[in-house]
Chains A and B, each alone.
Chain A
Amino acid sequence: MTAALGAHKAGRRRLFLPFFLPAVSLYVLFLLVPTVATVVLGFTSWAGAGDTPRFTGLANFGELLASDSFRFSFLNTLLYIVVGGVGTFLLAFLFTMVLRDMRGGKTVRAILFFPNIVAPVALGMFFGIVLIFRPNRQGLVNFVLESFGIDAVKFLAPENVTWVVTGCLIWASAGFYITILMAAVDRIPPYLYEDADIAGASPWQKFRNITLPLTWDVIGVAGVLWTIGAIKIFELVFVLAGPGTYSPPIQSWTLGVYVFDRSFGTAGSPEYGMACAAAVVMIALVSVLVVMLRRMMRRDSVQF
């Protein structure tokens, strides 16, 4: 008996490395090493393959701080994370309140998830058509507005485009978070809701006292997922705010656009050092935000 157990343990130990090493080495090779390299290159001036990185200390970061394009990129990214996040989660919560009781809720959920299947570039192009301002031949939205007697809106004008992108973002990502939150809601025993119904609770009260506390952990994880996803926002901005072939005006840039522009959008040789420095700021920002979020969401989990 003990001998058999010992043999089993020894077998497991023998198998440990063959299973462990491939995963770890791939992870190190394709994630850890590039990340460390990015951080190191952030302190250099480097024009890409063939060029030797020249150590420049904190010069890249100094230039980032002083540059308008980076300031816009940073603030816009924060705006998308915070405003887009609040909007997305409000919408998601709203749906969790109604979807549970709704007939055909499963179908609605599938439809809401749908924008996630489409590549953001295609979404951006699609919104580009839908939101066109073109007197006499308006895009769909302005056409509808005008047929109700409302003045058409210049959605794609640079001063509006950040808010338009925020709206598109909420529309496109809410389905994903509804799906995650609803999976958690489905795990809540139905009798809790039935009890609440008998007690005459409103949908808001049910949400506040049952759904929210019992899905708290999942919401926390979803929040982290959102933050990580939102910090990379690039395609929607690139195609909606600009012509799609050249970088858009700096007022609409995000950190993702900044990194892309310095890597592939320069007029001369690429500035990978600057791009890496901006990427380091992205890593730092996402780390800070995730840690803050985890702190905020820390609570004793409710057993049920």
Chain B
Amino acid sequence: MRSTNGLVLAAALSLALTGCGGGTDAGGGGAAPLTLPGVDEYLNAPCPEVGTKPATDKEFTYWSMWTADEPQGKVLGKAIKCFTEKTGVKVNVQWLGRKLLTQNVAPALNTDTVPDLFDQDISQVKAAIVAPGGTQPVDDVLDYKIGEGDKTVRDVLPKSSYDIPQNKDANGKIFEIPYELLGNAWWYDKAKIKDFKAPATMADLFALFDKAKSDGMAAVSQDGDINFYNAYFFTQIAVRYLGAGGLEKAALDKSGAAWTSDPGLLKSAELVEKLAKGGYFIDGWDAAKFPQIQQRWADGDAAYLFVGSWGPSETREYLSKQGGDKGIEYASFQFPQPEGATHKVVEQLPIGFAVTAKAKHPEAAKAFIAYMLNKDILSGIPAVADNLTPRADLPVPDSLKDVKAALEAPGVEHAIFMDALDGLAAGKWVDNVFYPLNNDLLKGKITAKQFIDGLAAKQAEFWKSTNS
């Protein structure tokens, strides 16, 4: 009998574990700071008018990266319901989840049962669907009306969210219209960090960390088991020296020599080495399971956390599940400009809609894309899903105001997360060349010089032996 109890315990533990780290649950149940206002209000609001209606199509098929009951799924669900109500066009939706590109869309490309519309972030769509020629241009959608008088898609979307090299196909045409925007930042709790002053130089940043340490906190929380979280530090600093797209170019250099020829790369690595060797990371960061370390930040064990704009929603969910009533007063800042770096860069990752090349009802799908950007529909992304949209004129969740401001700051260059390194050679480049060396650098096991030389050597070896 004891053994049965053990089984139940193990099963319960694994269930509890798989429960965490998923999407965001707007419900919560804690006190005011842990819940989001306006969810029901949004879902019950009347449907706005459709700006550009499809002339002939009576239906279209949409394969979604969300599940129906997660916050973004609810927003899309409302958009679909309203679109059908206003146009009579039937939407055949399948809620497939994040893996839809490799598991559903790509395998369908050479068949006749392709969806008309699907969504995912531009990096993944480009690597999995655009590369084999699976999409059609959506430039024409820019001139569709969104149901707010004469306003078109072009009028409400900032150019930096769609008119970027990473969002263009082989012919230079746009393949995605974004409706959600991810950013990343250093997060802190305003209630815990008194007299905070945003760092202007890297020295300021290290001073902040030193101050946190002298106040008895760890400086930085970092879930060290996620390779690409570990990569952000180097890439954030390096793109400021090289500019958007500079890292990707260095990584594609078959000889690997690009790593040693630009002194900015070594300088970036030296700053990461300083971060690693300064004892700033919370004890145990390299021996835990995501999301334990960011939860320790939420618990107040560390002062700062560098993650994407999903940070607040994930930690808020954790805190509300803990049953406490204390929320976090989220605030964030960007990496300061390192000395001698000339590119003012902010990293972003647009998530949007793409239309397949073989779509049977592209007209209806495109009309729906434009409708999604109507402010009464799109406002669900901040209100229900606690995320950012590319539109500048929608309310922004308090926790994300700093990120939004950084993304819209005048004169910044927009780079994709990690400068899109994670998509090179279907992910093999980062796995074999970058991540092992970067992890060693961040753990203080190698010096900046060894890191750069290692990249140069490994990369030459890698491109020589890799077929794709």
Name which residue of chain B comes closest to A161, CB basis: B287
Indicate whether B252 reaches chain A with its CB closer than 8 angstroms.
no
Would A63 and B467 count as touching, CB distance under 8 A?
A: yes
Indicate whether B461 reaches chain A with its CB closer than 8 angstroms.
yes
Indicate whether B428 reaches chain A with its CB closer than 8 angstroms.
yes
In the complex, besides A122-B14, A157-B287, A269-B106, 18 extra interface pairs with C-beta distance below 8 angstroms are A49-B111, A51-B132, A66-B461, A122-B10, A125-B17, A126-B10, A126-B13, A126-B14, A128-B17, A128-B289, A156-B225, A157-B286, A245-B21, A246-B226, A266-B428, A268-B427, A269-B102, A269-B426
Measured CA separation A123–B108 after assembly (Å): 36
Would A114 and B110 count as touching, CB distance under 8 A?
A: no
Known: A132-B292, A247-B431. A154 touches B109 (CB 8 A): no
Would A134 and B106 count as touching, CB distance under 8 A?
A: no
Q: A133 — which chain B residues lie within 8 A by C-beta? A: 284, 287-288
Measured CA separation A117–B225 after assembly (Å): 28
Would B428 and A49 count as touching, CB distance under 8 A?
A: no
Q: What mask results when residues 264 to 304 of chain B are scored 1 for a CB within 8 Å of chain A, else 0?
A: 00000000000000000001101111101000100000000
Known: A249-B435, A250-B432, A268-B128. A67 touches B284 (CB 8 A): no
Indicate whether B412 reaches chain A with its CB closer than 8 angstroms.
no
Indicate whether A110 reaches chain B with its CB closer than 8 angstroms.
yes
Known: A122-B10, A126-B14, A155-B287. A49 touches B110 (CB 8 A): yes
Known: A244-B289, A265-B427. A134 touches B11 (CB 8 A): no
Interface centre among B284, B436, B466 (most CB of A within 10 A): B284
Would B427 and A135 count as touching, CB distance under 8 A?
A: no
Indicate whether B422 reaches chain A with its CB closer than 8 angstroms.
yes
Q: What mask results when residues 239 to 254 of chain A are scored 1 for a CB within 8 Å of chain B, else 0?
A: 0001111111111000
Known: A50-B108, A125-B13, A129-B13. A45 touches B468 (CB 8 A): yes
7 tightest Cβ-Cβ pairs between the two chains A and B: A50-B110, A66-B465, A268-B127, A154-B287, A267-B427, A122-B14, A243-B290
Tell me the minimal C-beta distance from A176 to chain B in angstroms. Answer: 15
Known: A60-B467, A250-B432. A266 touches B426 (CB 8 A): yes
Pick from B102, B123, B292: contact of A264, CB under 8 Å:
B102
Indicate whether A179 reaches chain B with its CB closer than 8 angstroms.
no
Would B106 and A156 count as touching, CB distance under 8 A?
A: no
Indicate whether B464 reaches chain A with its CB closer than 8 angstroms.
yes
Q: A160 — which chain B residues lie within 8 A by C-beta? A: 287
Measured CA separation A118–B289 after assembly (Å): 21
Would A63 and B3 count as touching, CB distance under 8 A?
A: no
Ordered by A's residue number, 8 sampled pairs between the chains whose C-beta atoms are within 8 Å are A48-B106, A69-B428, A114-B6, A118-B11, A126-B10, A267-B123, A268-B131, A269-B106
Known: A50-B106, A158-B286. A269 touches B292 (CB 8 A): no
Tell me the minimal C-beta distance from A12 to chain B in angstroms. Answer: 46
The contact size tier of chain A is 35 or more
Tell me the minimal C-beta distance from A265 to chain B in angstroms. Answer: 7
* Chain A contacts to B: CB under 8 angstroms: 45, 47-51, 56, 59-60, 62-63, 65-69, 110-111, 114, 117-118, 121-123, 125-126, 128-129, 132-135, 154-158, 160, 242-251, 261, 264-271
Would B3 and A268 count as touching, CB distance under 8 A?
A: no
Tell me the minimal C-beta distance from A136 to chain B in angstroms. Answer: 8
Measured CA separation A247–B226 after assembly (Å): 9
Would B102 and A266 count as touching, CB distance under 8 A?
A: yes
Name which residue of chain B comes closest to A242, CB basis: B225
Name which residue of chain A comes closest to B461, CB basis: A66
Would B106 and A154 count as touching, CB distance under 8 A?
A: no
Name which residue of chain B comes closest to A132, CB basis: B288
Measured CA separation A262–B388 after assembly (Å): 33
Known: A133-B287, A267-B427. A118 touches B10 (CB 8 A): yes
Indicate whether B347 reaches chain A with its CB closer than 8 angstroms.
no
Name which residue of chain B comes closest to A265, CB basis: B427
Q: B468 — which chain A residues lie within 8 A by C-beta? A: 45, 271
Interface centre among B128, B424, B468 (most CB of A within 10 A): B468
Indicate whether B423 reaches chain A with its CB closer than 8 angstroms.
yes
Measured CA separation A117–B227 after assembly (Å): 32
Q: A128 — which chain B residues lie within 8 A by C-beta? A: 17, 289
Measured CA separation A134–B297 after assembly (Å): 12
Q: A66 — which chain B residues lie within 8 A by C-beta? A: 461, 464-465
Known: A122-B14, A250-B432. A271 touches B465 (CB 8 A): no
Indicate whether B447 reaches chain A with its CB closer than 8 angstroms.
no
Would B423 and A267 count as touching, CB distance under 8 A?
A: yes
Measured CA separation A66–B425 after assembly (Å): 15
Tell me the minimal C-beta distance from B421 to chain A in angstroms. Answer: 10
Q: A117 — which chain B residues lie within 8 A by C-beta? A: 7
Would A56 and B465 count as touching, CB distance under 8 A?
A: no
Q: A118 — which chain B residues lie within 8 A by C-beta? A: 7, 10-11
Would B225 and A63 count as touching, CB distance under 8 A?
A: no
Measured CA separation A249–B123 after assembly (Å): 21
Pick from B226, B286, B296, B427: contact of A134, CB under 8 Å:
B296
Name which residue of chain B comes closest to A68, CB basis: B432
Measured CA separation A264–B128 after assembly (Å): 12
Known: A50-B106, A125-B18. A271 touches B426 (CB 8 A): yes
Indicate whether B419 reaches chain A with its CB closer than 8 angstroms.
no
Indicate whether B92 reaches chain A with its CB closer than 8 angstroms.
no
Pick from A245, A249, A269: contact of B436, CB under 8 Å:
A249
Q: B3 — which chain A residues lie within 8 A by C-beta? A: 110-111, 114
Known: A126-B10, A264-B102, A264-B103. A154 touches B225 (CB 8 A): no
Known: A60-B467, A122-B14, A264-B103. A50 touches B109 (CB 8 A): yes
Indicate whether B439 reaches chain A with its CB closer than 8 angstroms.
yes
Would A132 and B467 count as touching, CB distance under 8 A?
A: no
Measured CA separation A268–B227 after assembly (Å): 18
Measured CA separation A65–B131 after assembly (Å): 27
Tell me the minimal C-beta distance from A259 to chain B in angstroms. Answer: 14
Would A270 and B467 count as touching, CB distance under 8 A?
A: no
Would A134 and B102 count as touching, CB distance under 8 A?
A: no
Tell me the minimal C-beta distance from A73 to chain B in angstroms. Answer: 11
Name which residue of chain A comes closest to B21, CB basis: A245
Beta-carbon contacts under 8 Å, B1-26 to A: 3, 6-7, 10-11, 13-14, 17-18, 21
Q: B33 — which chain A residues lie within 8 A by C-beta? A: none
Measured CA separation A55–B86 after assembly (Å): 51
Q: What mask results when residues 425 to 447 of chain B are scored 1 for a CB within 8 Å of chain A, else 0?
A: 01110011001100100000000
Measured CA separation A160–B14 after assembly (Å): 23
Q: What mask results when residues 101 to 139 of chain B are scored 1 for a CB within 8 Å of chain A, else 0?
A: 011001111110000000000011001100110000000
Would A121 and B106 count as touching, CB distance under 8 A?
A: no
Name which residue of chain A comes closest to B295, CB basis: A134
Would A243 and B226 count as touching, CB distance under 8 A?
A: yes
Would B107 and A50 count as touching, CB distance under 8 A?
A: yes
